[in-house]
Amino acid sequence: MEEEIASFYGKDHDQLDGYFRKFQELKKKDYAQAKEFFKKFKFGLQRHIVWEEEILFPLFERKTGMKDFGPTFVMREEHRQIGQFLEALHEKVQQQNPESDQEEDLLWNTLKQHNHKEENVLYPEIDQQASVAERKEVFRSMQDLPEERYKTCCQGHAH
C-alpha cells in the first residue's frame, strides 16, 4: 500500500494525542494506569521525533537545499523545546505527582502548534517534492530503526 507522508505522520500525531489525553483522564483516578499511558506517549513521541529528524527531514533538506534555515530548522528547534517540556512532566510522573497541570499545558500547547504546522505546511510539501520511491524508502528506514534509539528514559533510570 502506498501511503502519503502527511496521512501517516498525521495519524501518528493523533495516536500520541490519545495517549496523552488518557494519561490526563486517569491521573487522578489510577496513577499506575495513567503512567502506562504516559510511557506510551513518551516513547512514541521520542520515536516520532527521531523519525522526523533522522529520516524525514533529511529527505526534505536534500530535495530543497534548505537545512540551516527554513521549516525543518524551525521544527528541529521546536523539538528541543518539546523535549524539555516532556522531561519536566516526566519528573512529576516519576514522583507519582498528579499536580502537573502546568507542565501538561506547556507541553500540549507547544505540541499542538508544532503539529499543526507540520500537518498543514511541511508534510504536504514533502509529499509534493518526494517521489513514490523516496516515500517508500522513508517508511522502510523507519521500520529499520532500532528500539533503543527512542525507547529511553532518563539516564540510568528504568520504569
The contact set with Fe ion (CB under 5 A) reads 52, 118
Radius of gyration of the chain measured on its C-alpha atoms: 16
Q: Which of 1, 17, 125, 154 is nearest to 63 (CA)?
A: 125
Report in angstroms how near the CB of residue 96 gets to Fe ion at its nearest.
Answer: 29
Hey, CA dihedral for 90, 94, 95, 96, is it positive or negative? positive
Nearer to Fe ion, 22 or 117 (CB): 117
Report DSSP state, residue 69: S
Nearer to Fe ion, 80 or 157 (CB): 80
Nearer to Fe ion, 38 or 123 (CB): 123
Report in angstroms how near the CB of residue 52 gets to Fe ion at its nearest.
Answer: 5
Report in angstroms how near the CB of residue 3 gets to Fe ion at its nearest.
Answer: 15
Nearer to Fe ion, 52 or 103 (CB): 52
Report in angstroms how near the CB of residue 136 gets to Fe ion at its nearest.
Answer: 19
Report in angstroms how near the CB of residue 49 gets to Fe ion at its nearest.
Answer: 6
Cell of 19: 495517549
Nearer to Fe ion, 95 or 152 (CB): 152
Distance CA 46, CA 86 (A): 10
Distance CA 78, CA 96 (A): 27
Please, what's the b/e burial string for 27-60 (b: 16 or more CB within 10 A of its CB; e: otherwise)? beeebeebbbbbbbbbbbbbbbbbbbeebbbebb
